[in-house]
Every structure is written in C-alpha cells, then in structure tokens.
Amino acid sequence: MMAQDAIDKQNFILWYSLHATEKELEVARTHNREILDRLLREYAEEVDKVNKTRHLYERIIRSKSMKTQGFDVALKIDSFSNRRKTDILQEIK
C-alpha cells in the first residue's frame, strides 16, 4: 500500500501534467503560487518524464493517423550517358 505522501505526489504529477486545464493552472498560479512553485521544484524530474512520455505518445498516435502519400516514379534514361558510351566505344575501335 502506498503512503499518503506518495499518493499526494502521484496525484499532483498526474494532475499537473495530464489533467489540469489552462484555467485551473491559472487559478493555481494566482492563489497558490508558492505551493505550486515548491511542488514543481520538488517533482520537476517526474513532471518532465510524464511530459516527454505524453509528447512521444502523441507523436506516435499522430504519425499512425497520417496517411502515406503515394507517388509514381518514372525511370528517366539520360541520353547524354548513352551518347558518351557510344563515343567511348568508337574511340576504342
């Protein structure tokens, strides 16, 4: 069983990193700036890990939802190369 401090820590990290709306964050910054700053300093590493994981997950989901654009490739034969080969063969003879 988790200790209350560990539960509070986990709740704050998840709330701040995943669930808090911009309005809730603004209210927290306005009314509880000292506490918010202290918690962010204290849990900075964990908050950063959650943020990086979330951004990675979002990029993976976005990349899977994008459709690959198809394109046609045509082989272009360079006539200069063919002439050059002919010139070289004539010089050899």
Quick: pLDDT tens for 25-78: 999 999 999 999 999 999 999 999 998 888 888 888 877 766 555 555 554 555
User: How is residue 17 written in tokens?
Assistant: 């990193």
What is the model's pLDDT at position 2?
76
- Choose among 3, 72, 5, 66: nearest CA to 39: 5
pTM for this model (two decimals) = 0.57
Q: What is the reported pLDDT for 57?
A: 83
- Give dist(CA 17, CA 11) in Å, integer: 10
pLDDT band at 83 (very low <50, low <70, confident <90, very high): low
Residue 56 lies in domain: 4-92
The whole-angstrom separation of Cα 85 and Cα 91 is: 10
Q: How many domains does the chain have?
A: 1
